[in-house]
Chains A and B, each alone.
Chain A
């Protein structure tokens, strides 16, 4: 027979009160766990999006000209006739501090060509890097060889060409090896060839018009990488393509703040429920505490009994709260994520945090009732019997 036994027996005897304390803590802990788990999962979802987003850094030649395109409308081809980047310089990108975060680098040469008296934009690209840079590309046919081209869907429609057809560019005959499924981007209007082929056709050997870089950005410092590439390639303008992700991150940040606010309110309400219930429980047990004191229990023994009860219930609430919160996150995640199949994973830190928070919350809210119990005058308590 120990103080713990007394605490356990009392919990069993006053099941309704113990249940009420448990429910108060459970709601607070499970909701906080669900919200925090949801934020964590959504964060991973966004990070995965980031990686699947393809190129997220763009290297362009530095220019003093202003863009003459807006919303897909171009007022001239001047922007493509500006100075270019030396392909040989690109090796410096592989030497930057965060080079390990560079998943793929796609140099692109751009130039206007004429096909059947129509001006078309030819893009010379590295098709191997494109699988990482533009994972959404779907090609009907094959990736072009040295003398082949890939047509964007609009380009194929306007030029009335299909797979296997031939087109003449600057005196060279090129075969259409495949067609690009519509992407909804400018790619639909382009003719793609291998980088060296395009450079040769456009007489731009050893030069590229732009470079797309895919940085693996799970916790990678994209701004720092932009700065490092700028330093490595002084004559270029380096930009991070992150508006979309940034927008989502901002939304997530608002949600995170809101969740923290809700969690704090729930913790306060849960603590209040524990406080009120434990106060009621102590008042109900005045006589019993009087008996304990008459039997030689010190004030500290009475405090320990009350705190043990609160601790046991809180520990249960911590474990159950985490499990319920974990389950709730699983149920709720599909409604919040972008459908990337992100799984809710067991987070030992969150589990430990939930357990610790529940116990601290339960104990902190029970300190005052425990002190009240310890202060009960045994003679007054026994007189009430």
Chain B
């Protein structure tokens, strides 16, 4: 049995003539420790697939399991617990809470964990240290750069050491230098054993993954391994970013 497994997943929005098939019957298997990139044109269903994988969006039909756990058979509260224990999210727009400091933002996933405050603080500081932001813990998100905000979002996603990291367009708002730094960080996390599923438009980012799922019109049209940045030339017919 695979670690993450989707079977004939369908997600339809609306009904009748207004119905939109965001995910039209996808099946996939992801092993523990994989780094998977999901690519596709806008509106192809990438983000919907990621939200389904994040236990945030109940599919219209199909099965989805993680570590043998049928995620959508769980009750609402159990699903919340699943998200807290299994998943870390990195969103395109960072989605930091503006009135909390960087340290507090990173501590958010630990708020509902029954651990003492000192331990939580220490875990958050470790996560910040890992992304190279330990000197800016007490600033507000608005007081740091976009790249640093992205690092805060990553620190928040990994603070409780979840086995899976789901990233939606993590380089969407970053310059190329910061993108490379973030991708290096992802690669490092993956090398430490974290399973990463990353939705991206960027071939360069996809080049950091080890497997590529290409989606079109809600269907999985390609599932190919990536063997380093050079393979992108073959996959996409475009050059590697300088």
Contacts and interface: CB of A to CB of B under 8 A. Distances in A.
Q: How large is the interface on B (under 10, 10 to 19, 20 to 34, 35 or more residues)?
A: 20 to 34
A326 B99 CA distance: 36
B169 to A, nearest CB: 12
Contacts of B89: 294-295
Interface in B74-117: 76-77, 80-81, 83-85, 87, 89, 91, 93, 95, 97-100, 104, 107-112, 117
Interface stretch (A173-181, A253-261, A298-306): A298-306
A383 B20 CA distance: 16
A294 B77 contact: no
A1 B110 contact: yes
A372 to B, nearest CB: 15
Interface in A284-307: 287-288, 291-301
B201 interface: no
Contacts, number: 77
Interface stretch (B29-37, B38-46, B51-59, B213-221): B51-59
Contacts of A298: 76-77, 80-81, 112
B232 interface: no
B104 A297 contact: no
A2 interface: yes
Contacts of B54: 294
A69 interface: no
Given A1-B117, A5-B104, A299 B77 contact: yes
A287 B95 contact: yes
B111 A1 contact: yes
B108 A10 contact: no
B91 A382 contact: yes
Given A1-B107, A1-B117, A6-B111, A296 B85 contact: yes
A297 B95 contact: no
A380 B186 CA distance: 27
Contact of A301 (B93, B110, B112): B112
Interface of B: 47, 51, 54, 56-57, 76-77, 80-81, 83-85, 87, 89, 91, 93, 95, 97-100, 104, 107-112, 117, 120-121, 156
14 contacts: A1-B108, A287-B95, A296-B81, A296-B84, A296-B85, A296-B112, A297-B80, A298-B80, A299-B76, A301-B80, A379-B56, A382-B56, A382-B91, A383-B47
Given A301-B111, A383-B47, 12 more contacts: A1-B104, A1-B121, A9-B99, A287-B95, A291-B95, A293-B83, A295-B156, A296-B87, A298-B76, A298-B80, A298-B112, A382-B51
Interface of A: 1-3, 5-6, 9-10, 12-13, 287-288, 291-301, 378-379, 382-383, 385
